[in-house]
Amino acid sequence: MRTLHTAPLLRLTHDNEPPPGRATSGDDALPGRATSGDDALPGWAVLVDGDRIEAVGPTGELTQAYPMVRVRRWPGTLGPALVHDGPLPPAPSPRERVHALLRSGVGAVLAAHLTDPAVRAAAARNDVAVLDAVRPPALVVGGRADLAVFADDGRCLATVVAGRLVHRRA
């Protein structure tokens, strides 16, 4: 099932690098759009199919191209889920330790911090990516659909891991 995730602002990366060109599916690429400083892409969305990103582009274009798609409209800024590089937060159970990551917008964790088999199993059950090394999170067509939505004050409003909504702030 395809889902279109959209928010007032979209960041392709967390470090605000200007996108080299419009990231889309197929051969319909348009010239790049320069951003500077703290700019993000207003009115853009991410189309998710299963656990992969199928397209990234202006919301209007994607809803027109996919008229029957389910649309999730989020407040705040939509971007890639975070990579956690440190010990997992303490909690009474492995499931709660992993859920604490999901509540903070994390979609991946380093293998070095998942030495406890019970915690590793909890991460696997929630489709949290386990990485050998830190990689900068980015929204890439064809890449894994790990997304997070953040409010202006930095609170995580929603986390999508492998295309599945795993956290939504009430």
Helices (H), the chain: 59-65, 94-103, 117-125
Contact assessment for residue 122 and residue 94, using Cβ atoms and an 8 Å cutoff: yes
Total-model pTM = 0.84
**CA-CA distance, 150 to 144, in Å (whole number)?**
19
Amino acid occupying residue 141: V
The percentage of the chain sitting over the pLDDT mark of 70, rounded to a whole number, equals 85
Chain segment 71-81, per-residue pLDDT in tens: 999 999 999 99
Chain segment 92-142, per-residue pLDDT in tens: 999 999 999 999 999 999 999 999 999 999 999 999 999 999 989 999 999
How high is the pLDDT of residue 83?
A: 96
The residue count for the chain: 170
Amino acid occupying residue 120: R
Contact partners, residue 98, CB within 8 Å, separation at least 6? 88, 119, 122, 123, 126, 128
Amino acid occupying residue 48: V
